[in-house]
Amino acid sequence: MKAEIFSILVFLCLVAGFVVVAGCTGPAGDTQIAQMKGVATQLTVSIDAGLEDLKAGIRNNSRTLSTAGLAGGEAEKILAENLLRHPWAFSSLVISKEGVVMTAVPENYADMVGMDLSWQPQVQKANTDQVSIVSGVFLMAEGFTGISQSYPVFSPSWEYLGYTDITYAPDAFLGRQIRPVTDGTAYDVWVTQTDGTVIYDTTKEEIGKNLFSDPSYADPALQAIFTRIVKEPSGSGKYTFRDREWNRNVTKTAVWDTAGIDGAVWRVVVTLAGSEEGEKIADVTTPVAGTTDASYANLTGFVQEAAAYAKEHGKEASLKAFNDPNGAFIDGELYVFAYEMDGTVIALPYQQGLLGTVRTGISDSNGVEFIDGMVDVAREGGGSLYYIYPNPKDNYREEFKLSYVIPVNDEWFVGSGIYLPELPAGFNDTEQDELVKRVKHARDYAQANGADKSLADFNDLNGDFADGSRYIFAYGYNGTTLSLPFQPELIGSNRLDFSDAYGVKILNWEISTAQRGGGFVYVQYLNPDTGAAGLKLCYVTPVNDKWFVGSGIYTESL
């Protein structure tokens, strides 16, 4: 009942256009803290429910494995079916009581079968405790940092056989529980293990850091509040840290609670930033979308001028100019950013708190790892790509952005972008999960049936895989078109040089993303449902080391 009352209060506040209703503005007071506690309660309930749902799936797997055995086709089938229920998860394994991998899905992980993982602490714990466990974050044998959620397997006579698990990135899981509660509000959320490892943060650059060892948290006042947070299951306090835009320090009110099951103890911290003038609560009314008359030609010219300036004046002088928010390289919405080829930020005039940060692996709100994409494009000599990013000229509202980058030399590159506020900036989790599930189902089908049959079925306009704009496409890593059901004339052609109207080399981006294990990209491409080009969020995943599959969901045309 308390959670429902708090939900109503938050709803009324949002209807009013503010985080708090009339009479609650101004310095943080009891009403504000109560509302934040309500949000924290909603989040912990949601997180625990999500963990219980994952547990139910692997518990069902365990029951089947009890009689079917730890290895073989039936074991693979039940693990694969459950894994598709959680398309954002990495993998699912069965590990014997000796610590040996007996089954691994998807097939991309098949080389793990037979691997002895008995040296891993989480494997030792699972086999020693023989109960359901949510592990802490660790570097998995697959090469990803993630969490293993496991469930023991017993024989019908209750002999312990081993355990089965599902592995996932904690931020991918937590985002699905947190965003529905906080999207559209001024609340930020971060989640930490009690050892100080940050496993989720609204500001993605903070994920993976440790509260007690990272230099950016060295301030004694921060250490004091962080120590309280990990020691106290719930509480409230204040601290000073960077705002959402990494532009300035603000005082934040923090309220925290504890989530987690089966050994996981996660502090869920809800924060609200005040301004420098008396900590007035932030207005979170939706800003009116801005418009832009900047053309793609102006954009490319602007970036080329910046690169020429850098080559003429040298790195130190040019970065000083690029980082000046009042300087010559600010032209309306256009501003110059610069990165080292390893993804280190060296120029970002409106977010200077990020300078020196390595941002590879950072994704936008739809999961597109745009920094990695920009690095790839720059290394290939330059070009364009799309992503979602805060617009400093529109109150840091997240908007679609078309950016153009070119290398200054082999060490670093410059870029800029134009915003496209008229385009919807997001796809919800349900849409994305259905997309990923569709692509992973096609991958599993291809792995089970082989290239010839699966490609024939993907290209069949009357088949299950060519469902209008939801069709499955496939390419070889050498650029050869393998499946494109609505453009059969292109089958067999090499499309490495294909670019859309704004110079985005679509296939190059998809190939590099698939070779990194799979992920999201944006493309502008023909929508068979409308007959016109549209901006499309695609998900791609490897079938094997020779080819990949993908599909997409469209937004409006550019």
**pLDDT value, residue 274:** 77
Alpha helices in 422-472 (DSSP H): 429-449, 451-458
pLDDT band at 556 (very low <50, low <70, confident <90, very high): low
Do residues 70 and 144 lie in contact, with contact meaning Cβ atoms separated by under 8 Å?
no
The residues that bridge with 240 in the sheet, in sequence order, are 251
Q: Report d(CA 544, CA 306) in Å as an integer.
A: 41
Q: pLDDT digits over 41-80, tens only?
A: 999 999 999 999 999 999 999 999 999 999 999 999 999 9
Do residues 190 and 181 lie in contact, with contact meaning Cβ atoms separated by under 8 Å?
no
Report the percent of the chain where pLDDT is more than 90: 72
**Terminal-to-terminal C-alpha distance of the chain:** 46
Do residues 165 and 93 lie in contact, with contact meaning Cβ atoms separated by under 8 Å?
yes
**pLDDT value, residue 169:** 94
For residue 286 the two structure tokens come to 């939706």
For residue 418 the two structure tokens come to 């134009």
**pLDDT value, residue 23:** 33
Q: Is the pLDDT of residue 15 over 90?
A: no
Do residues 112 and 99 lie in contact, with contact meaning Cβ atoms separated by under 8 Å?
no
Q: 429-554 domain in CATH 3.90.120.10?
A: no
Q: Is the pLDDT of residue 295 over 70?
A: no
Under CATH, what is the fold of the domain 296-420? Beta-Lactamase (3.30.450)
Residue type, 345: V
User: Which residues, 6+ apart, have CB-to-CB distance to 441 below 8 Å?
Assistant: 84
Peptide bond into 106 cis (omega under 30): yes
Do residues 287 and 397 lie in contact, with contact meaning Cβ atoms separated by under 8 Å?
yes
For residue 283, how many C-alpha atoms fall within 13 Å in the half-sphere facing its CB?
5
Distance of CA 98 to the CA centre of its chain: 35
**pLDDT value, residue 427:** 83
User: Which residues, 6+ apart, have CB-to-CB distance to 308 below 8 Å?
Assistant: none
**pLDDT value, residue 279:** 37
Task: Give the residue-averaged pLDDT of 99-127.
Answer: 94
Average pLDDT, the chain: 88
Backbone angles phi, psi at 124, to 5 degrees: -60, -45
pLDDT band at 332 (very low <50, low <70, confident <90, very high): confident
Residue 355 three-state SS: coil
Q: Is the pLDDT of residue 307 over 90?
A: yes
**pLDDT value, residue 461:** 94
Give which of 157, 390, 173 is closest to 261, Cα–Cα: 173
Q: Report d(CA 319, CA 317) in Å as an integer.
A: 6
Task: Give the residue-averaged pLDDT of 322-334.
Answer: 91
Angle between helices 429-449 and 73-84 (to 10 degrees): 160
**pLDDT value, residue 142:** 59
Backbone angles phi, psi at 7, to 5 degrees: -60, -40
Backbone angles phi, psi at 174, to 5 degrees: -65, -35
Give which of 308, 298, 309, 307 is closest to 331, Cα–Cα: 298
For residue 46 the two structure tokens come to 């949601």
User: Which residues, 6+ apart, have CB-to-CB distance to 29 below 8 Å?
Assistant: none
pLDDT band at 530 (very low <50, low <70, confident <90, very high): confident
Q: Is 0.85 topped by the overall pTM?
A: no
Burial classification of residue 78, based on how many CB atoms lie within 10 Å of its CB (0-12 exposed, 13-18 middle, 19 or more buried): buried
Q: DSSP state, 539?
A: E
pLDDT band at 134 (very low <50, low <70, confident <90, very high): very high
Give which of 139, 157, 158, 156 is closest to 148, Cα–Cα: 139
User: Which residues, 6+ apart, have CB-to-CB distance to 463 below 8 Å?
Assistant: 457
The residues of the chain that CATH labels 3.30.450.20 are: 296-420, 429-554
Do residues 511 and 437 lie in contact, with contact meaning Cβ atoms separated by under 8 Å?
no
Convert 468-526 into a string of H (helix), E (strand) and C (coil). HHHCCEEEECCCEEEECCCCHHHCCCECCCCCCCCCCCHHHHHHHHHHCCCEEEEEEEE
User: Which residues, 6+ apart, have CB-to-CB distance to 162 below 8 Å?
Assistant: 70, 94, 95, 96, 97, 98, 102, 127, 152, 153
Q: pLDDT digits over 434-479, tens only?
A: 999 999 999 999 999 999 999 999 999 999 999 899 999 999 999 9
Q: How many residues does the chain have?
A: 558
